[in-house]
Structure 1
Amino acid sequence: MSMTEEMMEAIEKDLVFLATASSEGIPNVVPIGFARPINNGSILIADNYMNKTRQNIEENPNVAIVTKDAQKNPYQFKGKAEIFESGKIFDEVVEWAQNVMTKLNPKAAIVVKLTEIYSVQPGPEAGKKVE
């Protein structure tokens, strides 16, 4: 699973939308301002205010992320989320969030390891698996 530079830029430059589902399959989608690629196969998300989303990830680690920029090729990334409340990756999230807004105090770092990438560009190619 490998994101292109364009995909990674789309994640980092704007809001993304994170979809989760409870163990009963009840969906939840939230806008996320703190998301960025760690490498071409993983996305880092700061858990600043998550409640239902966090509970869903704990129950069901399967998530989807959609990029916002409809002018370019918007993407959907599917993967498995892992929560970190301490350690190197958590410390990186705290530093990143506090560099942007000093009052932020992230509760956790969430790493999404990608399993599939889809184009969600409107038109005949919509929903086409990229990788």
Structure 2
Amino acid sequence: MVMTKEMMDAVERENVVFFATSTADGTPNVVPIGFARPMDSKTIMIVDNYMNKTRKNLENNPKASLVPRDASKCPYQFKGTVEVIESGKYFDEAVDWVKSVSSKHAPKAAVLLKVEEIYSVQPGPEAGAKVA
């Protein structure tokens, strides 16, 4: 699936997204994340600054979902598979990005969500409809 420029711009503008994971047996977990942005039309980077349960979930079940905080600005849910990266180019990009915003954080990993499905979260009759 491919995010449109409008979708990518909206994710970039949001300062908080809700990131959902689940345990291997299906127990859900949702956390607010302050560092998330599109890397390209198929990938969203989420920075792991404080993940605990979320990180354990991703290690056992790499499927995840992300919804920007303000659905009126970005009414989409992005679902896909993640890759956790603790060194190299993407990790360095995550560290540089976080350090440019705040010296309080020490990123542990860059989490790359490969977008496989996109759904509408717009209220109304199309709520939950698959967009791409």
Taking structure 1 as the reference length, what is the TM-score of the superposition?
0.96
Cα distance in 2, alignment partners of residues 10 and 27 from structure 1? 25
Match of 2:39 in 1: 38
Match of 1:119 in 2: 120
Match of 2:10 in 1: 10
Q: Is the 8 Å Cα contact of residues 72 and 122 (structure 2) preserved in structure 1?
A: no
Q: CA deviation at 1:71?
A: 2.3
Partner amino acid for 1:69? D
Partner amino acid for 1:44? M
Q: Is the 8 Å Cα contact of residues 82 and 112 (structure 2) preserved in structure 1?
A: yes
Q: Is the 8 Å Cα contact of residues 63 and 80 (structure 1) preserved in structure 2?
A: yes
Q: CA RMSD in A?
A: 1.0
Residue segments in structure 2 that go unaligned for 5+ positions in a row = none
Cα distance in 1, alignment partners of residues 72 and 42 from structure 2? 24
1:54 aligns with 2:20: no
Q: CA deviation at 1:73?
A: 4.7
* Secondary structure, aligned partner of 2:67: strand
Match of 2:22 in 1: 21
Residues 82-123 of structure 1: CA distance to partner in whole angstroms, max 9, x if unpaired?
000111100110000000002211000000001100111010
* Secondary structure, aligned partner of 1:49: coil
Residue segments in structure 1 that go unaligned for 5+ positions in a row = none
* Secondary structure, aligned partner of 2:29: strand
Taking structure 2 as the reference length, what is the TM-score of the superposition?
0.95
Cα distance in 1, alignment partners of residues 125 and 32 from structure 2? 27
Distance 1:91 1:72, change over 3 A: closer
Tell me how many residue pairs correspond in the alignment.
131
Cα distance in 2, alignment partners of residues 69 and 104 from structure 1? 24
